[in-house]
Amino acid sequence: MELSGNLLTPRRKTRQIHVGDVAVGGDARVSVQSMTTTKTADVDGTLAQIYALAAAGADIVRCTCNEEAAAEGLAQIVPRSPVPIVADIHFHHKMALAALDAGVQGLRLNPGNLRKEAEIKTVASEAKDRGVPIRIGVNAGSLDKELFERHGGATPEALVESAQRELAYFAEVGFDDVKISVKASSVALMIAAYRLASETFDHPLHLGVTEAGPPPAGLLKGSAGIGTLLAEGIGDTIRYSLTADPVEEAKAGRQLLESLGLRERKGLDLIACPSCGRAQVDVIAVAKAAQEALEDRNLPIQVAVMGCVVNGPGEARGADIGIAAGKHKGHLFIRGEIVRVVPEDEMVEALVAEAEKLVAEGVEARLAAADKTAAAEAEADRMALLDEGGDDPNAAIVRIEKIRRRTGETEKPRK
């Protein structure tokens, strides 16, 4: 699949760091992150979640390291994890040192919660010795009190200054293997803060709308904030913060990058018409059935479910494959060309079977294998529907006239 990311504002050049074997920044592809919700001391439970996150599209996973048992868990998790592990550190610098001992590939420090200069420098020094990068994870909700008061709130300038201050501490011990985040739960604040951070730093930026909440609102907030910035060329790695199974975060991150053309499609992209008066089938139900039947098959194609054969195949000719309803039939099409007509109650089944063949054999082969009578049959159905419906596909005008005749409304002036 051709990526369309080059239609967006070119990505701003940042320096490159490595979180384990994942490059972040520079010309590396934008990576997806998520965070486990298990107790890190629960090694098997955490690893199961990490594997699920990696399968859903996460390139890097963060685990909390809030107690000694968590650090010990990390020592067992890191060598068995399919993706690099970042330890999340808030109040105790000793937990950062313990996580480094456990072998993590990255640290996240919250400058609002870990404030002592000497401790911050100790951690940076140890990270430097081990070649482990640190994310300076500024968060509007836990901004340093002094910065909050001096700036009159958690402003973009205050968030960026917090990161600058941390960078200055790091610089004193010669450490600069850093990425930066300036998250907020307000989408507008987060966008403004990252724009300023992008002008201020050349370090890679980790994007996120923090505490976005449960889907769908959380997904919308994350997409509005992260998507806007990526479209402006800002951002090197992303994380959705959802109040949901973290697998949903990883999926959302991957799907956002796919939809922006910044990552090759890994899975299904199901499109469906919004339905209208011409619909010959319950589009929502058919789209849901198709989604359920196709989503676990990991077919990297775009599939269209269209409510009528009058407009469907033409409107969705950009899709790899699709189905359009009409005259109690399903009209199966590949890149807009009708290849088969099946009974309506078999349309989802036929769509799934053809989608698998399409992925296995390719577009040309499946077009060559098309039922030669299908196009003519579909055209006949299309013309019949047009004749029946014309500009009044559901006969609404005829019905209204009937009602008016019955009630005598035609005699009265229209309101």
Residues that bind ligand SF4 (CB under 6 A): 273-276, 278-279, 306-308, 310-312, 315
Specify the residue, 387 or 411, whose C-beta has the smaller distance to ligand SF4: 387
- The span from the CA of 171 to the CA of 186, in Å, is 31
The rounded Cα 389 to chain-centroid distance in angstroms is 40
**Residue 7: count of CB within 10 angstroms of its CB:** 9
Ranked by CB distance to ligand SF4, the top (closest) residue is 307
Q: How far is the CB of 372 from ligand SF4 (least distance, A)?
A: 25
Residue 29: DSSP 8-state: P
With contact defined as beta carbons under 8 Å apart, do 155 and 143 qualify?
no
Q: How far is the CB of 382 from ligand SF4 (least distance, A)?
A: 11
Cis status, amide bond into 393, omega within 30 of 0:
no
Q: How far is the CB of 276 from ligand SF4 (least distance, A)?
A: 3
- The span from the CA of 275 to the CA of 281, in Å, is 9
Specify the residue, 305 or 358, whose C-beta has the smaller distance to ligand SF4: 305
Specify the residue, 77 or 316, whose C-beta has the smaller distance to ligand SF4: 316
Backbone angles phi, psi at 143, to 5 degrees: -65, 145
Backbone angles phi, psi at 64, to 5 degrees: -70, 145
Q: How far is the CB of 375 from ligand SF4 (least distance, A)?
A: 18
- The span from the CA of 154 to the CA of 139, in Å, is 9
Query: Cα–Cα distances in Å, from 267 out to 1, 114, 142, 255, 358?
Result: 12, 40, 37, 9, 14
Specify the residue, 207 or 279, whose C-beta has the smaller distance to ligand SF4: 279
Backbone angles phi, psi at 192, to 5 degrees: -65, -40
Specify the residue, 75 or 271, whose C-beta has the smaller distance to ligand SF4: 271
Angle at 348 between CA 356 and CA 328, to 5 degrees: 140
Helix then strand then coil, in percent of the chain rounded to 5, is 50, 20, 35
Residues 51, 55, 59, 62, CA torsion sign: negative
As a whole number of Å, the end-to-end CA separation of the chain is 55
Specify the residue, 109 or 287, whose C-beta has the smaller distance to ligand SF4: 287
Nearest-CA neighbor of 325 among 272, 269, 391? 272
Specify the residue, 11 or 329, whose C-beta has the smaller distance to ligand SF4: 329
Q: How far is the CB of 345 from ligand SF4 (least distance, A)?
A: 18
Residues 287, 290, 296, 297, CA torsion sign: negative
Backbone angles phi, psi at 204, to 5 degrees: -60, 145
Specify the residue, 71 or 304, whose C-beta has the smaller distance to ligand SF4: 304
- The span from the CA of 245 to the CA of 308, in Å, is 36
Q: How far is the CB of 87 from ligand SF4 (least distance, A)?
A: 50
Specify the residue, 200 or 302, whose C-beta has the smaller distance to ligand SF4: 302
Specify the residue, 46 or 275, whose C-beta has the smaller distance to ligand SF4: 275
Q: How far is the CB of 315 from ligand SF4 (least distance, A)?
A: 6
Q: How far is the CB of 310 from ligand SF4 (least distance, A)?
A: 6
Query: Cα–Cα distances in Å, from 361 out to 16, 357, 364, 375?
Result: 39, 6, 8, 21
Q: How far is the CB of 402 from ligand SF4 (least distance, A)?
A: 24
Q: How far is the CB of 383 from ligand SF4 (least distance, A)?
A: 15
Specify the residue, 44 or 282, whose C-beta has the smaller distance to ligand SF4: 282
Q: How far is the CB of 300 from ligand SF4 (least distance, A)?
A: 24
Enter the tokens of residue 241.
Answer: 């913060």
